[in-house]
Chain A
């Protein structure tokens, strides 16, 4: 559940407007101004990074960080883009996060089918076990995993990351989906069984299609959470060609060749992909973040 702290927002329907009483007092306006100031303060670092990524270092030193660029300057971004081979890093991140999301949803569905629908004995303990996997600090697994994957030759291989995060994400998925399936309409299942469908058929033809909205929220969350992971990719993906976006950007910080606006450009390139997810998925994810908060 901790992972929810990294979740993507979910713009729910705007709070319902009940009887709009339009008596706005001075106090109301002051609070509005206060809330807007907080929003500006939060958005300010993004704006700074944005305007300074398109400046030349000279432009930066004469105009300071607050001025708009005098001329659009793409060399900083281009230099960093080529330096880290950004398309390669993007692809690494998309590939690992995508495979993890699909596999983790699949495993979650199988687990939750046994626990939520099958109601196997000892299910409470099994759920606790999965929850444990999700709460653990990754440091407690780090060295043994590092050693194991070295021994079997998967160190510095994207599949190591895929395997590890499939387990960690599906642990959360199992926890959430088990409680969703626990309340699955029994009549539907009985009707399907009466028609002679086997469990396997019922799972794929009835349960999965009906729970598709929940599954797609899980899929998107798993993708973004895996994208944002840092410690384990940093440890396991040592060679340049395998690194993910956050790792590749982080390891170059403080590098001698990074001038002030190139560094800003590097931060911008780290921000942009997640910003795009935010814009694409905002609607799809309706209700998602709160779903896990209080089940």
Chain B
């Protein structure tokens, strides 16, 4: 029920005073610290702030990249809301969120708990560490390369998966996985689950070290089963990590580009089109810079909203917990 208290701020912690930690002597006022920020802020202004504002401005223009942009008001935005391809790209983003957030987080919770609670304790920490490192392996790849690895397995002719299916007498199931509208999106999702799974496992296992074993033993004495302990104790203690993982992964899911570029280019049709790839093609293939900028701006707004909602929800949850204690 976060909506009930959206505007109540978390109780403020006493703020550190606005003075430096290095004691001042006559020379050098605290304003001198600003000098240290000059290079960083100047770079930030040129590489991020100016392009960002410029991009928002471009969303109100028609521009093909050569002659000066022509101001056309809200036309791009009207076109955007009526654009089926744009809505298709956002529908696909929801599938990206399923593949990068929901499945990895749920599966990651279970795997982390199994590794930490059971395998780590009964079969030794080394086995647990080794399994964790294996789960994490795809995370280190450039995501475009991860796409190529899975794409190689899914090749239509003589691809590994189709060949294996034929080999075990299931040749009927062989399929042009990335090239047909019914399986292309699912194939991309497989790539993303594969890449993403290790991240929550590593984060959650580190978080689990915070759980006081005595809480568990007490719950066990009270007759709580493993699942009850897991949902009542574990999940509530590592909630901050769950928030961080879901937030960072949701943002990453909204930005997916590499696997789409290397595997399907948004096709067939618009069955795997995502906003970032859509904006990219508008910029550099259709030369509709104004419209591309509109898509990119819409994506930015969405990411900002998601971040704010998450951070508020987390603050609300923390407050509730403090009050409950």
A residues near B (Cβ < 8 Å) are: 1-2, 4-18, 20-24, 28, 31-32, 34-36, 38-39, 42-43, 45-46, 48-49, 52, 60-61, 64-66, 107-108, 110-111, 113-115, 117-121, 126, 129-130, 132-133, 135-148, 163-164, 166-168, 170-171, 174, 182, 184, 186, 189-190, 192-194, 198-199, 202, 224, 227-231, 234-235, 245-247, 249-250, 253, 260, 263-264, 266-267, 270-271, 274-275, 277-278, 282, 289-290, 293-294
The residue in chain B whose Cβ has the minimal distance to the Cβ of A192 is B22
Asked if A118 contacts B33 (CB within 8 A), the reply is yes
Residue-wise interface mask of B (107-126) relative to A, using a CB-CB cutoff of 8 A (1 in contact, 0 not): 00001001110111111111
Asked if B145 contacts A143 (CB within 8 A), the reply is no
Total CB contacts across the A-B interface at under 8 A = 351
Q: How far is the CA of A1 from the CA of B51 in the complex (A)?
A: 21
A132 to chain B, nearest CB (A): 8
CB of B289 within 8 A of chain A? yes
Beyond contacts A39-B134, A126-B37: 17 other A-B pairs, Cβ-Cβ < 8 A, are A13-B125, A118-B21, A119-B33, A120-B34, A143-B296, A144-B50, A145-B47, A146-B283, A199-B32, A231-B276, A234-B261, A246-B145, A249-B148, A263-B152, A278-B137, A289-B202, A294-B240
Give the residues in chain B near A45, CB-CB below 8 Å.
138, 149-150, 153, 194
Asked if A144 contacts B54 (CB within 8 A), the reply is yes
Could you list 20 A-B pairs, sorted by A, with CB under 8 Å? A1-B247, A6-B143, A15-B129, A24-B122, A32-B123, A42-B134, A42-B197, A110-B40, A119-B21, A120-B18, A120-B34, A142-B279, A144-B50, A167-B48, A228-B143, A231-B258, A270-B141, A270-B148, A274-B145, A294-B207
Task: Indicate whether A14 sits within 8 Å of B150 (C-beta atoms), given known contacts A137-B300, A141-B55, A260-B155.
Answer: no
CB of B20 within 8 A of chain A? yes
Give the residues in chain B near A34, CB-CB below 8 Å.
114
Name the interface residues of B44-100: CB closer than 8 Å to any CB of A.
44, 46-48, 50-52, 54-55, 58, 65
Task: Indicate whether A202 sits within 8 Å of B40 (C-beta atoms), given known contacts A137-B255, A270-B145.
Answer: no
Give the residues in chain A near B207, CB-CB below 8 Å.
290, 294
Asked if A290 contacts B203 (CB within 8 A), the reply is yes
Asked if A143 contacts B55 (CB within 8 A), the reply is yes
CB of B262 within 8 A of chain A? yes
Asked if B163 contacts A65 (CB within 8 A), the reply is yes
Task: Indicate whether A66 sits within 8 Å of B164 (C-beta atoms), given known contacts A2-B252, A167-B43.
Answer: yes
Task: Indicate whether A230 sits within 8 Å of B18 (C-beta atoms), given known contacts A17-B121, A139-B279.
Answer: no
CB of B184 within 8 A of chain A? no
Q: How far is the CA of A234 from the CA of B144 in the complex (A)?
A: 11
Task: Indicate whether A35 sits within 8 Å of B111 (C-beta atoms), given known contacts A20-B122, A107-B39, A140-B55.
Answer: yes
CB of B187 within 8 A of chain A? no
Asked if A64 contacts B142 (CB within 8 A), the reply is no
Give the residues in chain B near A170, CB-CB below 8 Å.
40, 43
Q: How far is the CA of A278 from the CA of B135 in the complex (A)?
A: 13
- A120's contact among B37, B132, B149, B289, by CB below 8 Å, is which? B37
Give the residues in chain A near B35, CB-CB below 8 Å.
114
A26 to chain B, nearest CB (A): 12
Asked if A114 contacts B135 (CB within 8 A), the reply is no
- B52's contact among A114, A117, A141, A293, by CB below 8 Å, is which? A141
Give the residues in chain A near B279, CB-CB below 8 Å.
139, 142
Task: Indicate whether A267 sits within 8 Å of B251 (C-beta atoms), given known contacts A6-B139, A120-B34, A231-B280.
Answer: no
